[in-house]
Amino acid sequence: MQTKPFRIGTRGSPLALAQAHETRDRLMAAHGLPAEMFEIVVLSTTGDRVTDRALAEIGGKGLFTLELEQQLASGDLDLAVHSSKDMPTALPDGLGIIAYLPREDMRDALIGRTAPKLLDLPEGAVVGSASLRRQALIRRLRPDLQVVTYRGAVETRLRKLAEGEVDATLLAVAGLKRLDREAVITEYLDLERFPPAPAQGAICIEARLDDRRVRDLVSPVNHRPTFDAVSCERAFLAALDGSCRTPIAGFAVSDGERLGFTGTILTPDGTVFHDIAAEGGVGDAFALGWSAGEAIREKAGTGFFDSW
C-alpha cells in the first residue's frame, strides 16, 4: 500500500499549476484519496527562464519538459503533468504519455485591443505571437499585419497588450478557461479558418512506463476519446518531424468508434499551404495520423520544406 505522497511534477506558471491541480483533484476523486497523498513539485524549465527569444531559436518544445523528465527518469517524480502541445514527439527511453484528461476547447482566441476581430484589425496593426503556426495563419489571412514574437505567461502577455505593446495577441481558449480568464476573449477563431496546434487543449500525464503502481493510479482518469484524437495528431506531427520550428496545424475528433482528422502545413509566411483530411477507426489512430503526415509531405513536395 502507498504510504508516502505521489509526487506530481509541473512547471510553475499559473496555467501549469492549474493543470497539475486538476490532475490531482481527478486522481483524488477516482481513488477516494486525500490531498495529503499527493505532492505537487514545481520545477523551473529552460523554456520558462528564457522568454526573450522564440522557442525555435533556443531548442524547441523539449525546453518545457527536460527538467521534469530528468527527475521522472531518476525516480524523484512519480508523474509529470504537461500541456500536450508542448510535448516533443520523441520522448526519452523508458518514459511515455500514459493518460490524457478530457480535452478542453481546442480553438485559438484573439484578444484584440484596437479591434475585436482579426479581419477587423487596422491595416499594419501589430499582432504578437510566439507560435510559428499562429504567425503563419495570421499572415495567410492578413498579410498586411505586422507579426512579432511575443512570449511569456498568459498574464504577462495580457499586461503587455494592455500597455499598448501590440494591437492584438492570440492565446489558446483552453488555457484562458482554465485560468478563468475567458472574458478577455474578443474573438473565437473557428477550426476551419484557423486550425489549432496538434494536441492543443489537452493535458497529458507522463510517467515511467515500467511503473505499474503509477499506471494503475492514473488509468481511471484517462479519457479515451482524447487519447485517441491526440495520438492521431501527434503521429501526424511525428511523420512530419514537427517541432516549434514548423508551422503545422491539425486536429482529430473522435465519436468513440470513428476518428476524423484534418491537417495543414504552411510556409512561415503563410503564402503556401496544403491541407489533408482522413478518417478511420479509433483503433488505428496512430496509423491514421502517420499516413496523413506522409501523404501531405508527398503532396507538398520536397521543395516546400526548404523554408523550414
Is 306 tagged catalytic? no
| Same-domain pairing of 55 and 147 | no
Q: What is the pLDDT of residue 243?
A: 52
Distance in angstroms (rounded) separating the CA atoms of residues 107 and 51: 24
Provide the number of structural domains found in the chain: 3
Distance in angstroms (rounded) separating the CA atoms of residues 106 and 85: 11
CB 36 within 8 A of CB 5: yes
Catalytic residue among 86, 108, 211, 228, which? Answer: 86
CB 85 within 8 A of CB 108: no
pTM of the model: 0.90
| Same-domain pairing of 27 and 120 | no
Q: What is the pLDDT of residue 54?
A: 53
| Same-domain pairing of 148 and 210 | no
pLDDT < 50: residue spans in the chain: 49, 58-59
Amino acid letter, 37: M
Domain that holds residue 117: 108-189
CB 149 within 8 A of CB 54: yes
Q: What is the pLDDT of residues 206-216, one digit of tens each?
A: 999 999 999 99
| Same-domain pairing of 93 and 240 | no
| Same-domain pairing of 80 and 175 | no
What CATH number did the domain enclosing 206 receive? 3.40.190.10
87 Cβ contact partners less than 8 Å away, ≥ 6 residues apart: 61, 65, 97, 199, 204, 206, 234
Q: What is the pLDDT of residue 58?
A: 45
C-alpha cell at 206: 507522463
Q: What is the pLDDT of residues 215-237, one digit of tens each?
A: 999 999 999 999 999 999 999 99
User: Cβ atoms within 10 A of the Cβ of 184, count?
Assistant: 16
| Same-domain pairing of 14 and 152 | no
Q: What is the pLDDT of residues 128-148, one digit of tens each?
A: 999 999 999 999 999 999 999
Reduced to 3 states (helix: H, G, I; strand: E, B; else coil), residue 186 is coil
Q: What is the pLDDT of residue 307?
A: 61
